[in-house]
């Protein structure tokens, strides 16, 4: 087990916001954390419809997110965003497939390493990428340090998963009021 995991790809791809695995957030089903966090910005729940469900692929969510009208966005968004991200990650990793990957990281430091100058959720490593492979150029504020809020949230959720293991049966009860069709699928799978 590496002491630090700073690339959410390959066997650790499930840690990425762009990983496709269904979960519920505020009563709606999302395909990726990327879609859920974009939708959560939107104050009026019916206006989140483009981000919900399996038609909204993760990269599409990113693109759509850039086009959300300012007047749709919660006025307190900047203050609540990390808390909302924590709730999204808790929901995503309550599902066995994603949770197993998170738990497989044991006690490793999780760092959302990226090259797109995101030093809020992660740590941008653009300066250490060979020039020819720099897709997004060099960020003026990328010093190799970052707040890594996503990595910290993932480590918090991992600790919660270690002390509060949920079974799929419990999950079935948890989601039963949200999606009758999904409940049927889960019950069929557990027979
Ligand atoms: Zn950068």
Domains of the chain, first to last: 4-112+148-178 (1.10.357.40)
Judged against a pLDDT cut of 60, whether residue 179 lies above it is answered with no
Distance from the alpha carbon of residue 147 to the mean position of ligand 1, in angstroms: 13
Distance from the alpha carbon of residue 124 to the mean position of ligand 1, in angstroms: 5
Helix (H), strand (E) at residue 126: none
Contact 182, 29 (CB under 8 A): yes
Residue 64, phi-psi category: left (phi > 0), alpha (psi -120 to 50), beta (remainder): alpha
Distance from the alpha carbon of residue 138 to the mean position of ligand 1, in angstroms: 5
* Beta-strand pair 123-124/113-114: parallel
Contact 103, 162 (CB under 8 A): yes
pLDDT of the residue at 123: 97
Distance from the alpha carbon of residue 129 to the mean position of ligand 1, in angstroms: 10
Distance from the alpha carbon of residue 127 to the mean position of ligand 1, in angstroms: 7
Distance from the alpha carbon of residue 146 to the mean position of ligand 1, in angstroms: 10
Distance from the alpha carbon of residue 82 to the mean position of ligand 1, in angstroms: 21
Nearest to 17 by CA among 185, 25, 3, 145: 25
Strand partners, 17: none
Give all strands (DSSP E) within the chain, no chain letters: 4-5, 23-25, 28-30, 109-110, 113-114, 123-124
The pLDDT mean for the chain works out to 88
Q: Tell me how far apart the alpha carbons of residues 130 and 113 are, in angstroms, rounded to a whole number.
A: 15
pLDDT of the residue at 72: 97
Predicted structure pTM score: 0.84
Q: Which residue has the higher pLDDT, 185 or 16?
A: 16
Judged against a pLDDT cut of 50, whether residue 117 lies above it is answered with yes
Distance from the alpha carbon of residue 37 to the mean position of ligand 1, in angstroms: 22
Residue-wise pLDDT for 55-75, tens only, equals 899 999 999 999 999 999 999
Judged against a pLDDT cut of 80, whether residue 45 lies above it is answered with yes
Distance from the alpha carbon of residue 88 to the mean position of ligand 1, in angstroms: 25
Distance from the alpha carbon of residue 133 to the mean position of ligand 1, in angstroms: 13
DSSP string, 39-59: HHTBSSGGGGGGGSBTTS-HH
Distance from the alpha carbon of residue 85 to the mean position of ligand 1, in angstroms: 22
Percent of the chain topping pLDDT 70: 86
Residue-wise pLDDT for 127-177, tens only, equals 998 888 788 888 989 999 999 999 999 999 999 999 876 654 455 545 444
Distance from the alpha carbon of residue 58 to the mean position of ligand 1, in angstroms: 21
Query: Using 50, 70 and 90 to split pLDDT, how confident is the model at 188?
Result: low
Contact 30, 54 (CB under 8 A): no
């Amino acid at each position: 087990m590496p002491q630090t995991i700073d690339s959410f790809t390959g066997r650790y791809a499930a840690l990425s916001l762009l990983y496709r695995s269904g979960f519920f957030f505020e009563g709606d089903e999302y395909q990726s954390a990327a879609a859920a966090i974009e939708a959560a910005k939107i104050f009026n729940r019916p206006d989140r419809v483009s981000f919900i469900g399996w038609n909204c692929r993760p990269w599409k969510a990113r693109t759509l997110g850039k086009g959300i009208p300012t007047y749709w966005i919660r006025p307190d968004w900047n203050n609540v965003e990390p808390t909302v991200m924590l709730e999204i990650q808790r929901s995503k990793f309550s599902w066995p497939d994603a949770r197993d990957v998170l738990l497989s990281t044991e006690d490793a430091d999780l760092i959302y390493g990226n090259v797109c100058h995101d030093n809020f959720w992660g740590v941008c490593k653009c300066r250490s990428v060979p020039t020819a492979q720099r897709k997004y150029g060099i960020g003026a504020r990328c010093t190799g340090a970052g707040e890594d809020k996503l990595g910290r949230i993932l480590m918090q959720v991992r600790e919660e998963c270690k002390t509060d293991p949920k079974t799929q049966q419990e999950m079935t009860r948890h989601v039963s009021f949200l999606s009758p069709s999904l409940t049927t699928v889960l019950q069929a799978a557990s027979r």
